[in-house]
């Protein structure tokens, strides 16, 4: 009796041969997809940026960032406690003062809005989350730049480092766990690390905004901090066209003693993030900035995208590129979904 193999029978019928490999087998059910997922977002991977407004009695909503507010001290505490309850890994605080001057005097006042806010956060959440401070002068200067200006109106890098050292000591004294150096001054990590060590703050960590680009995606943030900026920051923040330079900046910060390095923004700079993550011996962070937040919120409000799926996909994409943790304005909400 003669038998015909199934393959020959199929060939005789003109059917296509079976694929040699079927990757789709690992996508067949939600359980299978969950089992083989290469990256997972955990609440502890998320850091919530927060704004505290001097003199505010109630939180003030931001028109360009739906759901984000400038906090009063009371609402700051409540939001931090909510973030901690959700399992968020950290909070990053920005201060919004009512008065500003050329050198950002309010940034180093012990009872200034940022330092008072940091103390409130430490008191409220203790070590349950990492309390991070923004160490930069832009919120506190009447010209809106991240440093002090010289006689010609340009940012004076080395004079600014002195102010950063003063800010570092003021912020470390509040009990903040990690200082976020966001000003993009050359030598800022070494300057801050030196003064922290000299004054005994050896456990205070430094988060270096190593590759921070002069981006159009910071627009809504300017509303959040009531920025006084005139002109731009292209002489110290990085050119969006440059990839290799991002790795160079991160390498310099690592050599100066950064405990964490960061790429900002995230969305348009995933290649830079991947470059930095490939070589960094310390954790790598990325900041999903205000413009990234605003675009997804606006598209979702118009019914153009699925809001939750877009949020989750955007964050896991940043992690896939190499971020160990992500600063995102959705941190508490996303952590709640994950839990």
Question: pLDDT tens across 13-54, in order?
Answer: 667 888 989 999 999 999 999 999 999 999 999 999 999 999
Q: Which residues pair with 46 in a beta bridge?
A: 326
Q: Which residues pair with 69 in a beta bridge?
A: 61
- How far is it, in rounded angstroms, from Cα 14 to Cα 1? 24
Q: Are 211 and 246 in contact (CB under 8 A)?
A: yes
> Is this prediction's pTM over 0.85?
yes
Query: Is residue 283 helix, strand or coil?
Result: coil
Residue that is written with structure tokens 């002195």 in the block: 162
- pLDDT band per the 50, 70, 90 thresholds, residue 4: low
- Backbone conformation region of residue 6, classed left if phi is above 0, alpha if psi is from -120 to 50, else beta: alpha
DSSP structural state of residue 239: P
- pLDDT band per the 50, 70, 90 thresholds, residue 93: very high
240: its two tokens: 């969006």
Average pLDDT, integer, range 102-117: 96
DSSP structural state of residue 23: G
Specify the length of the chain in residues. Answer: 339
- pLDDT band per the 50, 70, 90 thresholds, residue 10: low
pLDDT digits (tens, 9 = 90+) for 246-292: 999 999 999 999 999 999 999 999 999 999 999 999 999 999 999 99
Q: Are 231 and 289 in contact (CB under 8 A)?
A: no
Going from N- to C-terminal start, the domains of the chain cover 40-338
Per DSSP bridges, beta strands 69-71 and 60-61 are antiparallel
Query: Is residue 47 helix, strand or coil?
Result: strand
Question: 40-338: which CATH architecture?
Answer: Alpha-Beta Barrel (3.20)
Active site residues: 212, 264
The phi and psi torsions of 169 (rounded to 5 degrees) equal -65, -40
Residue 1: its pLDDT value, please? 54
- How far is it, in rounded angstroms, from Cα 35 to Cα 29? 10
57: its two tokens: 């009695």
Rg of the chain (C-alpha set)? 24
Average pLDDT, integer, range 122-140: 96
- How far is it, in rounded angstroms, from Cα 97 to Cα 116? 11
- How far is it, in rounded angstroms, from Cα 266 to Cα 264? 5
Residue 2: its pLDDT value, please? 56
The phi and psi torsions of 45 (rounded to 5 degrees) equal -80, -5
Q: Is the pLDDT of residue 147 over 70?
A: yes
Residue 213: its pLDDT value, please? 97
Q: Is the pLDDT of residue 8 over 70?
A: no
Q: What are the contacts of 52-58 at 24+ separation with CB within 8 A?
A: 52/76, 52/93, 52/94, 52/95, 52/96, 52/113, 52/114, 52/117, 53/96, 53/113, 54/95, 54/96, 54/97, 54/98, 54/112, 54/113, 55/98
Q: Is the pLDDT of residue 296 over 70?
A: yes
Residue 7: its pLDDT value, please? 55
User: Quick one: what percent of the chain has pLDDT higher than 90?
Assistant: 88
Q: Are 41 and 333 in contact (CB under 8 A)?
A: no
Which secondary structure element, helix H or strand E, spans residue 76, and what is its range? helix 73-86
């Amino acid at each position: 009796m003669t038998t015909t193999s199934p393959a020959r029978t199929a060939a005789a019928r003109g059917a296509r041969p079976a694929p040699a490999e079927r990757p789709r087998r690992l996508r067949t059910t939600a359980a299978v997809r969950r089992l083989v997922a290469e990256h997972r977002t955990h609440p502890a991977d998320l850091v919530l940026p927060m704004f505290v407004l001097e003199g505010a009695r109630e939180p003030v909503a931001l028109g360009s960032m739906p759901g984000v507010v400038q906090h009063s001290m009371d609402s700051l505490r409540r939001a931090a406690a909510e973030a901690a309850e959700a399992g968020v890994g950290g909070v990053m605080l920005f201060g919004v003062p009512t008065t500003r001057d050329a050198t950002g005097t309010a940034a180093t006042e012990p009872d200034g809005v940022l330092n008072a806010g940091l103390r409130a956060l430490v008191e409220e959440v203790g070590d349950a989350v990492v309390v991070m401070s923004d160490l930069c002068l832009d919120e506190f200067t009447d010209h809106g730049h991240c440093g002090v200006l010289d006689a010609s109106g340009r940012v004076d890098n080395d004079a600014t480092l002195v102010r950063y050292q003063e800010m570092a000591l003021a912020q470390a004294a509040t009990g903040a766990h990690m200082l976020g150096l966001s000003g993009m001054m050359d030598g800022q990590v070494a300057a801050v690390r030196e003064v922290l060590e000299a004054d005994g703050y050896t456990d205070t960590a430094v988060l270096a905004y190593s590759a921070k680009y002069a981006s159009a995606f910071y627009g809504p943030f300017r509303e959040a901090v009531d920025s006084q900026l005139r002109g731009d920051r292209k002489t110290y923040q990085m050119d969006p066209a440059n990839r290799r330079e991002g790795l160079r900046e991160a390498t310099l910060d690592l050599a100066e003693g950064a405990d964490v390095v960061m790429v900002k923004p995230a969305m348009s700079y995933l290649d830079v993030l991947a470059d930095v993550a490939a070589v960094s011996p310390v954790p790598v962070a990325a900041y999903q900035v205000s413009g990234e937040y605003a675009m997804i919120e606006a598209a979702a409000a118009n019914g153009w995208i699925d809001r939750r799926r877009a949020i989750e996909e955007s964050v896991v994409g940043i992690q896939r590129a190499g971020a160990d943790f992500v600063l995102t304005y959705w941190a508490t909400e996303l952590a709640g979904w994950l839990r």
